[in-house]
Structure 1
Amino acid sequence: MRNVYLIFRRDYLGYVKAWGFWLSLAAVPLFLVIGASFGYFAATSSPVRYFAVVEPARIYADAIESEFQRRSAAAAEEAQALAEQMNIPLAEAEGQLAEATGSRKYYEVPAPARTLEDLRPWLTGERLVNGPDGEKPLFAVFILSEDGSQLEYWSGDVNVDTLQRTAEIAMRDLSRRSALTASGLNPDFLKQADDAAVKVPAFRLTATQAGESGAEVTMADRAPTLVSAALAYFLWLMIFSIIQYLLMGTIEERSNKIFDTLLTSVQLPQLLAGKMLAVFAVTSTMMLSWSLFAVGGSIISASQVPGMGDMIAPFLAAATDPMLILPGLVSFVLGYILYGALFMALGSLCDTIQEAQTLLSPMMILLMLPMFAIFVAFQDPGSPIVDIASWFPLFTPFLLILRMPHDPPMWEVLAQMGMMLAVTLVVVWGATKVYRAGAVHGAGIGELGGMLKRAVGIKPKAV
């Protein structure tokens, strides 16, 4: 064990002392904070814009104004529903409701002219119009065509189309209301019909006491599935992260003949175990740091945002459920060893970075296949294809985690964990042979086929 520890310490400290490791460690939370801050400031700092509508009457202008008011009312209702779901008293939610209803960025102003040519100075900013946010240029103008079939949208900025899309929705709503009125129906007929529709709430069937069949679905019911998906993706991300460390480290030591020196002091299994533990510790350090960042952010959010703690609680309960954590840990360990042994064995056959790059493409494809399986399992965990794919060793570590919230048969869970253990032992045995041939005896990629044939008992043809 001492030799394994020495190899582990040597490799681990070699990785974490590098500046690149700390830059990679800080990059993810830094980019998350920058991205979230940029999105928030982009949304809140968006300027107020003015538009005008040129038409004989205020039919279309009123329709656009009604659509903006409808959106503000819908945003207020959503904010109030969220406040109720988070158990926030209405008095504390007033600020959020005010923000939801006061985030409007487009206001109609009287048209200072009636033709496009006459309106050009206001659209180009040469002249300003007065509005709710002071004097500003006209951002856009709607001009009704002579035949009344088009409400032309004119603006100097064609990339911002929010106002145009809002007007299109308003025109469709206006057309429907006009058609209903012409048919002798109430203009709000469709809305009343929608409000009168039979509601379809979701309930979770549970094995409870007599007279209790279940309860309405809440976030606590969905949390285990979301947590299991996060764990599966976490495992995939960890495995994805080890490729660079295993390939680059193995190539460097092979090219510098470091293996010859190391193997004079330790046995090959001890060398492999130490290296695998070192890379696992490096990736675990990164993942743990990111997890602490997420937990810290959650704690701050729970202390600053009323009701946030109630939303986080179901996820914490799911993350500490032994029925999810124990299979998750087994899948984590065996999945890491399985993929790590494969990548280390292949890396031992490369002499240069160029040779390693030829292996990256098949490795990426190999890693993308589990990601596709994770996506399918998250969308429909009861799909037969998921049940079949979970018996494929490369998919089992990920899919077993995803299936746990849906109570798979215990015999399947135990059988798949046993299969993972057996396959991992076989892969480690084969990887040790390949690693010895590559790192110790200098075998290359071209000799991999011959090694595989000898491993299964096929003698190569005599030349």
Structure 2
Amino acid sequence: MSTDKRAGSFWKYVWLVAGREYGENVRTKGFIIGLLFFPLMLWAGIRVPRFLADKATPTRYYCVVDRSKDLGEIVRSHLKSEATKRIDLAKAEWFEKTRSQPEDKRKPFVEPKARFVEVPVPSGVVADDTEGLKTALKPYLVGEKKIVVDGKDAELFALVVLPEDLAKRKKGAEFWTINLADSDLKEGVERSLEDELRRREFVSAGMLPDEVKRIAEIRVKVESKNPKKKEGDEKVSTADVVRQWAPAGFVYLLFIGIMTVAQMLLNNTVEEKSNRIVEVLLSSVTSTELMTGKLVGIAGVGFTMFLSWFTTGALVLRLSFGPEVDDIARMIFTVIFTPQFIGAFAVYFTMAYLLYASVFLAIGALCNTLKDAQNFMGPVVMVMMVPVLTMMFIPKDPNGTLATVLSWVPIYSPFIMLNRIAADPPMFDVIGTGALTIVTTALLLILAGRIFRVGILRTGQPPKIVELFRWMKQGA
């Protein structure tokens, strides 16, 4: 075949290879399950924590040993008030969900079960002093013995000890428990005691109780303003906050997407090489056509994956929260699904994909087994972790030194610039880093092509560093 004819049919063969790569990957059970798994995990991430908070967390039973005479009642009153607020909030949520339903079809309101319930000291515990009482209750606190609640055995979650001189602050309260993760009860006890002791100090200083209450209820609202917004509209809204942090989510999504599709490219290349399928393919196409077709085909897989994620994610959010939060959902979608974010994501995904895919493709051409490939992948993945480790810091200082410096490192530029996009970085940074990344990607693609051309048919041990540099010089 003449050179002109071959050049004219280059993209024809590229699209044939790309179609084969795309079809083989999107039709696999693993890919389809992965697409379905994303909305399932998103739904679970929304629903499961709420279910666990409402249903799975057991009622915690605790005892109060009050030697202060009156502070125990203050603690009880505060905890009861918090429990009432929790019930009122549940009623409000129930009303929002059922107000549009006919009255005869509404599900009746069911109070959430109490989180904390005080129980008396077990009848079998006898002690003359507080220390003896604490010692006698330790077997219950560590689970060796059970308390009886409504005729059923239950565990004693905590013991609250209020000493006699607590009001004078000579000695603090004690909170005994083996569960160090659930601190809600402890924090509730602390708040109630602190508020009451402050109130008493104010009263002892000559202030009237009503004045103390009035002063304690003073709240100052600090309204955020953005000087970049037009005059009269400087107030920072929830949408502005979402817009500021949304890029961090896009960066994480970009990292997951690049890792997924690059792994596909690597696995396919190693598999075809080890099974000698690549020899059959190269009998019909050139190594350049094969490599380009693989890049294009897997890129199509990546865009298909992201399109599915965005579509199903929006659907899951709508179904999970329901119509009662339409305004909030609409605000979030309005902020996220804009040309600024979606366009930037598409551009930076393409840049990052071509940059890292060239590296993974070269690794695949060098290795005969996935085990060999994993050894090469380790350093690449460690390098890729830097944008993930900094993704929560960049939005706080998007035009700072760290963000600016990392933006000019081509292997990080797509991630960092995507994270800075909401802060309107200087146009010099946008154009300059983009141009540098494109040049670097082009150079990596050329070098990867040389490695791919030589290594794809090579068998045996992976080449040494010196030999690898010799491959990259070939064709220069």
TM-score, reference length from structure 2: 0.77
Q: Aligned partners of 2:146, 2:88: CA distance in 1, in Å?
A: 40
Query: 2:20 matched to 1:10?
Result: yes
Structure 1: distance between partners of 2:154 and 2:346: 61
User: Which residue pairs with 2:353 in the alignment?
Assistant: 336
The structure-2 alpha-carbon separation of the partners of 1:394 and 1:78, relative to structure 1 and needing over 3 Å to count, comes to farther
Cα separation, 2, equivalents of 1:391 and 1:119: 63
Alignment match of 1:238 (pick from 253, 257, 260)? 257
CA contact (8 A) 2:368 2:460 kept: no
For residues 115-159 of structure 1, give each alpha carbon's deviation from its aligned partner in whole angstroms, at most 9, with x where no partner exists. Answer: 4498899988877456xxx98757354455677746555668777
Determine the structure 1 residue equivalent to 2:385.
368
Q: Give the counterpart of 2:454 among 437, 445, 456.
A: 437
SS at match of 1:199: coil
Tell me, what secondary structure is at the counterpart of 1:107? strand
Match of 2:37 in 1: 27
- Give the letter for the 1:239 counterpart: I
> In 2, are the aligned partners of 1:227 and 1:319 still within 8 Å (CA)?
yes
Aligned pair 1:203/2:213, yes or no?
A: no
Taking the TM superposition and a 5 Å limit, the aligned residue runs for 1:102-113 are 104-109=114-119, 113=123
Q: 1:417: Cα distance to partner?
A: 2.2
Aligned residue in 2 for 1:355? 372
Tell me which of 404, 412, 423 is aligned to 2:421: 404
Distance 2:179 2:345 in 1: 51
Equivalent residue in structure 1 for 2:185, among 151, 157, 163: 163
Tell whether the 8 Å contact from 2:147 to 2:154 is kept in structure 1 after alignment.
yes
CA shift in 2, pair 1:267/1:192, >3 Å? farther
**CA 193–383 in structure 1, closer or farther in 2 if over 3 Å, else same:** farther
Alignment match, 1:413: 430
CA–CA distance in structure 2, aligned partners of residues 319 and 158 of structure 1: 39
Q: Deviation digits for residues 277-307 of structure 1, max 9, x if unmatched?
A: 22223333333333222111223246x242x
Q: CA RMSD in A?
A: 4.0
SS of 2:387's partner is helix
The range that moved more, 426-435 or 257-266, is 257-266
**Does the C-alpha gap of structure 1 residues 73 and 283 become closer, same or farther in structure 2, counting only changes over 3 Å?**
same
Whether the 8 Å CA contact 1:52–1:138 is kept in 2: the answer is no
Contact 2:344 2:418 in 1 (8 A): yes
Query: Contact 2:263/2:360 (CA < 8 Å) preserved in 1?
Result: no
1:253/1:259 contact within 8 Å kept: yes
Relative to 1, partners in 2 of residues 1:119 and 1:76: Cα closer, same or farther, differing over 3 Å? closer
Counterparts in 2 of 1:180-329, with a 5 A limit?
A: 180-185=202-207, 195-196=217-218, 198-206=220-228, 208=230, 212-301=231-320, 304-306=322-324, 308-329=325-346
Partner SS, residue 248 of structure 1: helix
**From 356, 379, 394, the counterpart of 1:377:** 394
The one-letter amino acid of 1:361's match is G
Change in Cα spacing, 1:343 to 1:420, as seen in structure 2 (3 Å) is same
Match of residue 74, structure 2, among 63, 66, 72: 63
Q: Name the CA shift for 1:79/1:409 in 2 (closer, same or farther; >3 Å).
A: farther
- Equivalent pair of 2:83/2:114 in contact (CA under 8 Å): yes
Cα 1:178–1:406 change in 2 (3 A) is: same
CA contact (8 A) 1:122 1:128 kept: no
Q: Are 1:38 and 2:48 counterparts?
A: yes
- Give, as a single letter, the amino acid of the residue that structure 1 aligns with 2:456: A
Q: Deviations over 1:65-91 (max 9, x none)?
A: 2332454577699999x99xxxx89x8
Secondary structure at the counterpart of residue 62 of structure 2 = strand
Question: Which has the larger displacement, 408-417 or 385-394?
Answer: 408-417
More deviation, 218-227/163-172: 163-172
1:196–1:229 distance in 2 versus 1, CA, 3 Å: same
Report Cα offsets for 1:407-436 as digits up to 9, x if no partner.
223343223222222222111111101111
Distance 1:277 1:170, change over 3 A: same
